[in-house]
Structure formats: C-alpha cells, structure tokens
C-alpha cells in the first residue's frame, strides 16, 4: 500500500535512508504539522513544582497521593495548575504514566487507579480543563499567556493542552524515583490527539499510548471508512483545537499536505501503541491500523523494529503489541477502560 505524502522523501526530494536523515525529516514533519494543523508548539517557561498535600491512604495504603501545584513562570505572572500523583510504595525506580484526562477526579470511570499502582506504575494525573477550557475562548487558563498573533499558526487548544503536559513533566522528571526510560504519555480521544502531538514534540516521553484518537489523531485519512469523522467535520465543529491555517482544509480536505502517518512518525524512534475500539466507527479503527503501517518506515529508518502486526484489518480483540509501533483493537465502544490500561501496561512492561 502507498501512503501519501511520502514519509521517506525530504522536502528537497532526497530519499531518507539513514537515521540522521530521518531525524532531519522528523523536523520537517513537525514544521509541516505546526503550519497546517496544530500551530506552533508554545515555548517552555521556567516551572516550579510544589507538593501541597499528601495522603498515605491511597489504594488502601499501597500508594501515596500527592497534590502537586505546577507554577509556570511568565515574568510578572505565574500560571498554576494541579497534578495528582499516585506513587506506589515500592522501592527503586518506577515507570511513570502521565495521563491527561476529562475528569477533575482521578477516581473516575476511565482510570483503574488501584490496578495501575498494583502493577508498580506511578500515575501523574492532569485534568485538561485545568490547563485551558475546551472551547473557542483563548482568554482563559494557560491560553491567555499565548496571545493570538493572526499568523494562522497560533496554537489551537490541542497544542496548549500538550504544552501543559510538557510543563508538568518539567517537574515530574526531576523526581529521583522516575525511571526515565519508562516515561509514558496516555490520552483518550481528543486527548489522544493531544498525547500524540505532545510526544511528537517532547522527546522525554519514551512511550506513547493513544486511545481512540481518530481523526487528526492516529487515523490515516487516505483510507477513510464510512461513518468515520472527516477533516471537514472536525474543522467545522472544533476549529479551536487547531491553528487557523487548518480551516483551509474544511472545504478542500483533499488538499491538506499532510496525513496522520506523518504525525505517528514523529514519535519514532520511541515506542508508540495505537489502541482502537471495534465499535468506534467515528474514530475509524481500520484507518488507525493503516496509519501504523504507513508510519512504520520511520522506525525502520532509525534501525528500530517498526510495525510487526498484520496489514489486513484486525478483528475484535486482536492486534500486535510487539514492535516499536504497535496496534490493538479491543471489543467495545469509544471508552478508556481497564482492558486498554492492561494493554498499555503490557506494552510498557
Ligand atoms: C468527538 C470528536 C472526536 C473525538 C471525541 C472526544 O466529538 O469528534 O474527534 O475527539 O469527540 O474527544 O471524545
């Protein structure tokens, strides 16, 4: 199968053959996605983290729950947002799962906190609304620190949520128990799109798990299936998730100079798991699988294993967790559930 645009062709036409060339190509892809889709990734600022509250009772006493405030320094003003950290009472380095989620409360239907802790993982929990609101208002939360310039490439909300995740990691990565080789980012749906864009830019994440991220997440548009979300629809309904330039593709989606295998390729050479749900036609599971096939050459160019799964669409509760880019289709609907987490934890190991 041929994937367009050609991942392994540099802007000047040179074929990518080496890891060094792939790294250069990765920079071109990030620039392309900034310009046409997500907007410029907002710059880092100095960050301070403070534990403001601590409980030893989390998960029946198997974990400490730390309420952390992340203060981002914008000169005269700071932007402060909370992170909740579940830290298992085990010795030594621990893998850290960073989750950006929809609920203020981590004890919600999407997060099996006890099971995560029982498996030895620490969990850093961010509520996306604490970074900025999910609408077209750019005067609230972190968004107000990134004034709109009218350049067409001002970050959309996905870019601003992603920036918040990276600022939390500025603090979290300083904690001495963090196993930086197993620092992972997880997001579901629009926050799966956010996780992909964040990790594409933030090389500290060694693992990324996108769950049901769909259109403008992990779904390759060149293989769109009936019932799936389209660029025209997402640009119309959620214009503020993206930069203004993205609006050009609302009427002419076929002219967009990028597709989602290029976003996945920006995660290489690190490890990526694309998780889908069989009954989630809107996120187009089959096209999510194809995007993994299409992105695989980026891993291979880095000398990694790439995608080792099937090219034929998987059935329900099937996939391949081997390889550095993995895909799995679980049974059920659009949801971030226990079985998704079991996959993430098996993948990260
Ligand atoms: C839908 C949107 C999808 C997906 C989802 C979600 O309405 O069309 O792209 O992001 O929301 O985030 O739950």
**Residues 261/196, Cβ–Cβ less than 8 Å:** no
**Per-residue pLDDT reduced to its tens digit, 265-291:** 999 999 999 999 999 999 999 999 999
Percent of the chain with pLDDT over 70: 100
Task: Centre a 10 Å sphere on the Cβ of residue 126 and count the other Cβ atoms it contains.
Answer: 24
What pLDDT does residue 171 have? 98
**Per-residue pLDDT reduced to its tens digit, 166-215:** 999 999 999 999 999 999 999 999 999 999 999 999 999 999 999 999 99
> b/e map of 37-52 (b: 16 or more CB within 10 Å)?
bbbbbbeebebebeee
Q: Is the CB of 188 under 6 A from ligand 1?
A: no
Q: Is the CB of 269 under 6 A from ligand 1?
A: no
Q: Is the CB of 189 under 6 A from ligand 1?
A: yes
- CA of 215, closest atom in ligand 1: 9
Q: Is the CB of 215 under 6 A from ligand 1?
A: yes
Task: Specify the residue with its C-alpha closest to ligand 1, atom 12.
Answer: 190
What pLDDT does residue 319 have? 98
**Per-residue pLDDT reduced to its tens digit, 68-111:** 999 999 999 999 999 999 999 999 999 999 999 999 999 999 99
CA distance 164 to 131: 6
Pocket test of ligand 1: the residue of 187, 189, 238, 260 to mutate, having most ligand atoms within 8 Å of its CB, is: 189
- Give the CA-trace dihedral at 53, 59, 63, 65, to 10 degrees: -20
Q: What is the side-by-side strand order in the sheet with 63-74? A: 47-57, 63-74, 77-88, 122-127, 94-101, 178-188, 207-211, 271-277, 325-330, 318-320
| Helical (H) or strand (E) element with 83 | strand 77-88
Q: Which tokens in the block code for residue 336?
A: 């971030």
Burial of 272 per CB tally in 10 Å (0-12, 13-18, 19+): buried
CA of 281 to the centre of ligand 1 (A): 12
> pTM of the predicted model, to two decimals?
0.99
Average pLDDT over residues 309-324: 98
**Per-residue pLDDT reduced to its tens digit, 111-160:** 999 999 999 999 999 999 999 999 999 999 999 999 999 999 999 999 99
Task: Centre a 10 Å sphere on the Cβ of residue 76 and count the other Cβ atoms it contains.
Answer: 5
Pocket test of ligand 1: the residue of 195, 214, 217 to mutate, having most ligand atoms within 8 Å of its CB, is: 214
What pLDDT does residue 133 have? 98
């Amino acid at each position: 199968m041929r994937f367009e645009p050609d991942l392994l062709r540099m802007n000047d036409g040179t074929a990518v053959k080496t890891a060094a060339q792939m790294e250069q190509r990765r920079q071109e892809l990030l620039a392309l996605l900034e310009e046409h889709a997500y907007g410029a990734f907002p710059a880092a600022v100095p960050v301070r983290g403070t534990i403001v509250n601590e409980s030893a009772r989390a998960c029946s006493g198997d974990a400490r729950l730390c309420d952390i405030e992340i203060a981002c320094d914008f000169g005269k003003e700071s932007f402060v947002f909370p992170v909740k950290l579940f830290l298992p009472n085990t010795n030594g380095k621990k893998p850290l799962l960073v989750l950006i989620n929809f609920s203020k409360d981590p004890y919600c239907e999407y997060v099996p906190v006890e099971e995560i802790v029982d498996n030895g993982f620490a969990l850093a929990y961010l509520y996306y609304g604490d970074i900025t609101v999910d609408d077209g208002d750019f005067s609230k939360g972190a968004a107000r620190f990134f004034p709109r310039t009218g350049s067409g490439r001002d970050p959309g909300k996905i870019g601003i949520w992603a920036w918040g995740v990276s600022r939390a990691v500025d603090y979290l990565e300083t904690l001495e128990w963090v196993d930086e080789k197993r620092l992972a980012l997880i997001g579901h749906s629009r926050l799966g799109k956010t996780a992909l864009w964040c990790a594409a830019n933030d090389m500290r994440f060694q693992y990324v798990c996108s769950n049901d991220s769909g259109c403008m997440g992990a779904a390759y548009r060149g293989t769109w299936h009936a019932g799936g979300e389209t660029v025209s629809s997402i640009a119309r309904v959620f214009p503020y998730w993206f930069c203004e330039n993205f609006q050009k593709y609302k009427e002419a989606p076929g002219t967009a100079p990028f597709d989602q295998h290029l976003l996945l390729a920006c995660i290489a050479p690190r490890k990526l798991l694309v998780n889908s749900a069989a009954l989630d036609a809107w996120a187009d599971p089959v096209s999510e699988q194809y995007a993994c096939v299409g992105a695989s050459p980026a891993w291979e160019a880095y000398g990694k294993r790439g995608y080792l799964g099937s090219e034929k669409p998987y059935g329900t509760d099937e996939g391949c967790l081997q390889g550095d880019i993995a895909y799995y289709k679980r049974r059920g609907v659009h949801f971030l559930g226990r079985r998704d987490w079991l996959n993430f934890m098996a993948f990260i190991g």
